[in-house]
Structure 1
Amino acid sequence: MPGPFSGLRVIEFGRFIAAPYCGQLLADGGADVIKVESLDGDETRRNGAIVPGEGRQFLNKNRGKRSLAVDLSDPEVSAAVRALVLKMDVVVANFRPGQARRHGLDYESLSRANPRLIYAENTAYGRSGPMADAPGMDVVLAGYSGLLNITADGPMPPPEPIIDYTAGLLLAWGVSTALYTRERTGKGQRLDVALLQAALVLQNNHINHIDVIDNWREEFVEYLKHAFAGGASWADVLAKRDELQPHVPARVYYGFLRTSDGMISIAAMARPLRMKMMEVVGFDDRWSREPGWEPEDARAYTAALYGTVEEILRTDTTENWHRKLSSAGIPCGPMRLREQLLDDEQVRENGFVVRMEHATLGGLTVVAPPVAFSETPLTASTASPQLGQHTREVLLESGLDAGTVDRLAARGAIRTP
């Protein structure tokens, strides 16, 4: 069956993760996505390359696309690419500051020629403010936004580039929204997803301030202005935050706990679930049982409660605790490492990973499209393209004749297989 974006024409000027992942989601939906690359290709072709020109990170974000490898600084090539862009429905881009305007690929000039064009742009910090023109990568934004796991030894970056992928999802949602709007109004528009905003979305539970309970935050922020200059360690900073913020016995009911043969993850924060967990595991928590009661030393109480619960959980296996807790309606599950997931029965039964064949590397197992539709399914149609695999056919579609394409190839302005 045709996908929801069948017939949609998309051109992607994407590098690294966010914009390319957005392009891949549109391609999974049946869109014709042309990926414009430099003559050397997207940087992720070289990062961790398996063979020359084919890196693991490129394979994970560029399936289903056509590769157009060109030198945009060549005036003839730039004109041809601009002519191609004006035939598109959607542009997905994360240009460096000023790069789009230099090549006549900025939204303002393109939308004057094609008012129906949807221009989806990925920036680091947004288009305004003192950081507007600053470059940014996932780990840089993780530091700037506070999306870090801070230990006594210091901050640790997230184990995966979750800001980039969230931005890619938001870009794809933005394109879908803009397409829906265009169906009603006939007009395109520009949309921008900043990595910084994606990082805030990921912290939606905590990036807020409720006046009646969050006044401690202001004291902590004031403390941070001078803490490190005054010789404070990361352990000191964590202790100060722990001292100031309100306490609840969350650690026992939300997180990872040891069993006799592994670990189990539990999410039982709601009071009815906490009461059920006390009953199933066999411990008492007066703080949860008696609303209004609080211990004199919240930290000591929580630490002692955690020790008691984990001691009990160590008397049985993860499988048995999972069965007992799940039967009581408590959300929980065995903890897995990512290396185990490709063989997981639940993952495979639901088609959350798919097998593909790559022209150079052969068989691949990759993450499947993330949304299931009953009538217009998303499909991982083809593996990522070889660099410049479609340059010739795309430039012919742009209006150039075969002789011109041959001449551009001869002088090294474009790359073909």
Structure 2
Amino acid sequence: MSNADPAPLTGIRVVELGRFAAAPSCATVLADWGADVVKVEPPDGDPARGRGAHDGGANPRFQVHNRSRRSVALNLGESADREAMFRLLSEADVFVTNLRPVALRALGLDAPVVLAAHPRLVYGQITGYGPGSDERSYDHGAFWAYSGMAHMFSRDDGEPPQAAGGMGDRASGMSLAGAITAALFARERSGKGAHVSTSLLATGAWLLASDLSEVLAGGTPRTIDRAASANPTLNNYRCADGRWLWLQVMNPERDWPALLRALDAMWLDSDPRFAGGDSTRLKEHATALVETLDEIFRRSSLETWERRLREHDITFAPVRSLAELVCDDVAAAAGVFVDVIGADGTTSRSVDSPCTFHGAERRPATPAPRVGELGTGQPW
């Protein structure tokens, strides 16, 4: 018998009415934390089911956002199915959705209506531009483009880079999961539910908060230019084998001697531009130092630099590919991945949500459900 505590959200019932990744990813986090999640989707399924499916029918992108829950198929355009939805909500603790506010109002599922009927419910909502906006958007839009993030990372010619799919959705989902758990805690004291929300835009802005704060204070936006880095010892460098590493010397005055020993470049300290690792002078002569460090790092392979930097306790990180990461022992030990156990006992690997409750039980992760596997019946 396990002596572990129950998972923190054990006994919490969640209804997820989501599309694509934002609300579903939030529900995955809540499920990983112990909640019992039911996904409500139309009879033909969440449209994300058909996106990214492999030849064998598996869809890992859908699985990672929709594991560890059951599915109820409802046509919410029909009054009988809307009544079934309200019966679900009457037994739930949490409702999570990323449908547009205009769609929720049309269905009678907007926050004022739902909370009037179910005052102990925590109503969690993700939108593109805030709950007062009916504007449609996805994470490439409100999170990546509108927030200023794409512009900040644009190339010299102004062309904005592409973003990895779902980054803003998952970041927003994680934020909402935190807000939902805070609202559940508040309910323990007040007895009342709450409406909590976040948006793709607000999440993108929060991730850029350091730079936005500079602009709000009258400063100029920071440019992403490795050749003119404000701290050349906090920068990326290519090694002799074409691999890259990210040097992370946050305090050059303190770590300058050790860095020069690791680089076998004590002669740099005799250059008045760089002597003592003075951060003001390093910033002033950043382009020259980046060029010098480029030349030094090109002399040896990544493996050699990893060994030398570790020997001298210099903080760095190798630039890993996704193919490398899935085989990486450090990532595995950090809990990046989770085994998903199918009904037949077979296992597959997926990406775990990023928080661990030490000393608490972890409910086994299970595959995403079949569409409407519970029919239209009550799951609880």
TM-score (norm 1): 0.79
The residue type equivalent to 1:260 in the other structure is: A
- For 1:102 and 1:353, the matched residues in 2 are separated by 39
> Cα 1:216–1:175, aligned 2, differ >3 Å: closer, same or farther?
closer
Q: How many residues align?
A: 363
Aligned partners of 1:99 and 1:24: how far apart in 2? Answer: 23
Superposition deviation, residue 371 in structure 1: 1.7
Q: CA deviation at 1:27?
A: 1.0
Which runs of 5 or more residues in structure 1 are unaligned? Answer: 221-237, 399-417
Whether 2:366 is the aligned partner of 1:365: answer no
Task: Indicate conservation of the 8 Å contact 1:89/1:116, yes or no.
Answer: yes
What is the CA-CA distance between 1:279 and the residue it aligns to? 4.0
CA-atom RMSD in angstroms: 2.8
Which structure: larger Rg? Answer: 1
After TM superposition, the structure 1 = structure 2 runs for residues 12-411 of structure 1, keeping only pairs within 5 Å, are 12-50=16-54, 54-128=58-132, 132-141=133-142, 142-148=144-150, 149-153=153-157, 154-209=159-214, 214-216=218-220, 249-250=230-231, 252-261=232-241, 262-271=243-252, 272-274=254-256, 276-281=258-263, 282=265, 283-284=268-269, 286=273, 289=276, 291=278, 294=281, 298=284, 301-358=285-342, 363-392=347-376, 395-397=377-379
Deviates more, 1:170-179 or 1:262-271: 262-271
Contact 2:325 2:331 survives alignment (8 Å)? yes
Check the 8 A contact 1:93/1:121 in 2, yes or no. Answer: yes
The runs of 4+ residues in structure 1 deviating greater than 3 Å are 51-54, 214-217, 273-276, 287-295, 357-363, 377-380
Residue 292 of structure 1: CA displacement? 8.5
Write the distance in 1 (CA, Å) between the matches of 2:67 and 2:326.
Answer: 19
Q: Do the aligned residues in 2 keep the contact of 1:145 with 1:196 (CA within 8 Å)?
A: yes
Q: d(CA) in 1 for partners of 2:259 and 2:92?
A: 56
Identity of aligned residues (%): 30
What CA distance in whole angstroms lies between the structure 1 residues aligned with 2:161 and 2:279? Answer: 36
Q: How big is each residue's C-alpha offset from its partner over 1:135-170, in whole Å with a ceiling of 9 and x where there is no partner?
A: 111111211111122113411122343221110110
- Give the 3-state SS of the residue equivalent to 1:390 in structure 2: coil
Determine the C-alpha separation between the residues in 1 that align with 2:345 and 2:73. 20
CA distance in 2, matches of 1:325, 1:52: 44
1:224 is matched with which residue?
none
Seen in structure 2, the aligned counterparts of structure 1 residues 216 and 210 have a Cα distance that, compared at 3 Å, is closer
Q: List alignment gaps of at least 5 residues for structure 2.
A: none
Deviation, 1:16, is 1.2
Q: How far apart are 1:305 and its partner, in Å? A: 1.7
Secondary structure of 1:365 counterpart: strand
- The Cα of 1:205 is off from its aligned counterpart by 2.0
